[in-house]
Amino acid sequence: MTTVGVGMVGYAFMGRAHSQAWRSVVPFFDPPVRPVMAALAGRTGNEVRAAADRLGWASAETDWKELLRRDDIGLIDICTPGDGHAEIAVAALDAGKHVLCEKPLANTVAEAEAMVAAAERAAARGVKSMVGFNYRRVPAVTLARKLVLEGRLGTIRHIRAQYLQDWLSDPRSPWTWRMDRDRAGSGALGDIGAHIIDTAQFITGDTVAGVSALTETFVPERPHPDGGTARVTVDDAALFIGRTRRGATAVFEATRFATGRKNSLRIEVNGSRGSLAFDLESLNELWFHDGTDDGETAGFRRILVTEPSHPYAGAWWPPGHVLGYEHTFTHEIADLLAAIADGTDPRPSFADGLQVQRVLAAVQDSAERGSGWAAVEGS
């Protein structure tokens, strides 16, 4: 078994999730390339060294560029806010390092296009890149895609997708970088709306071609942790209708103000032969309706997606022993390592991330104009 040294940039929420995945991928998936957790990078020396010790990284750096200079590091994992993605990813790919970058790919279409160009240059030298839309790796979501690809739903007619959270519903909740458009790109739209766009496109194998949208900021100013207040320059909620390239209709809603909803990514897909439904708050379950069943007994049935034959599930526990949120990151890393080993192109690619970025841009364009249809560039 060969190895690849990993350098990760960022160690907050996503950094912790990714660290857990790097630690667990070998014992459960026995990947053909074994990762070595070589270094963690962050701005503050004492804090990044403490995080490296706590999360299992062998060393710490206070400048992410040092990761690119190290011969023992062959893969860069980017877990920073969005404003750092493009610079780090382009530099890493040009330095010959494989890259895993958190979603959304960038803060703007122009940044995402530059990242795709760098990925294409790197791919010619065998260097791989992938964007981290981890919900593709929920076993129930991957099974949903399989059912669609097998034709079990027939022609897709309707897509309904929601991502509902409530962590900002209290106006006294403090300001964070996620409320700064310069750092985050957008609010609920890019943070969680990107997930439902990608999940819907992944399940259906189709892409959003145009949208009509509105966004809303309910609390324009919040307490700053250092005192005083700070302006909120992003959306708190984004709602839009859309049409896919193949003609299906779609409805999307992303909000961090759905009081009582903690992390509810919901998607329902209706086709000419059947339907499926999923909710992340019950992530081991997929609901499936076979429209060809006898009408007297037909209806949605609950599938517990924990059988050894289900996607990813066989690597973990006996049937019925459920998985959690953290497992999705292990799955994406296992897939990335397999792609590096066999020379295939990992998905979702940076090009996939750019396509989602173009949908986000079309939503912002439609919402800022106040009305009207916005085509998604390239569709």
What are the φ/ψ torsions at residue 166 (nearest 5 degrees)? -135, 15
In the structure, what pLDDT confidence band is assigned to residue 64 with cuts at 50, 70 and 90? very high
Q: Per DSSP, which regions of 247-372 are E strands?
A: 249-255, 264-271, 274-279, 285-290, 301-304
**Distance from CA of residue 84 to its chain's centroid?**
16
For residues 84 and 182, give the distance between their C-alpha atoms in angstroms, rounded to a whole number: 11
For residues 33 and 334, give the distance between their C-alpha atoms in angstroms, rounded to a whole number: 9
Q: Is residue 1 scored above 70 in pLDDT?
A: no
- pTM, whole model, 2 decimals? 0.97
CATH, domain range 138-323+356-369: 3.30.360.10
**Cα angle 129, 133, 139; round to 5:** 115
Q: What is the DSSP string of 235-266?
A: -SEEEEEEEETTS-EEEEEEES--TT-SSEEE
Q: Is residue 280 scored above 70 in pLDDT?
A: yes
For residues 60 and 233, give the distance between their C-alpha atoms in angstroms, rounded to a whole number: 33
- In order of 16, 43, 99, 291, 356, the CA distances from 9 in angstroms are 11, 9, 11, 48, 23
In the structure, what pLDDT confidence band is assigned to residue 80 with cuts at 50, 70 and 90? very high
The pLDDT assigned to 250 comes to 98
Q: Is residue 240 scored above 90 in pLDDT?
A: yes
The pLDDT assigned to 336 comes to 98
- In order of 201, 222, 263, the CA distances from 177 in angstroms are 28, 12, 20
Q: Where do the domains of the chain lie? A: 2-134, 138-323+356-369
The SS3 of residue 321 is coil
User: Are residues 179 and 224 in contact, defined by beta-carbon separation less than 8 angstroms?
Assistant: no
Give 2-134's CATH code, choosing from 3.40.50.10800, 3.40.50.1370, 3.30.470.20, 3.40.50.720.
Answer: 3.40.50.720
Q: Is residue 371 scored above 80 in pLDDT?
A: no
Question: What is the CB neighbour count within 10 angstroms for residue 59?
Answer: 17
User: Are residues 375 and 226 in contact, defined by beta-carbon separation less than 8 angstroms?
Assistant: no
The pLDDT assigned to 372 comes to 86
For residues 279 and 368, give the distance between their C-alpha atoms in angstroms, rounded to a whole number: 30
What are the φ/ψ torsions at residue 161 (nearest 5 degrees)? -135, 130
Q: Is residue 379 scored above 90 in pLDDT?
A: no
pLDDT tens digits, one per residue of 10-53: 999 999 999 999 999 999 999 999 999 999 999 999 999 999 99
User: Are residues 203 and 145 in contact, defined by beta-carbon separation less than 8 angstroms?
Assistant: yes
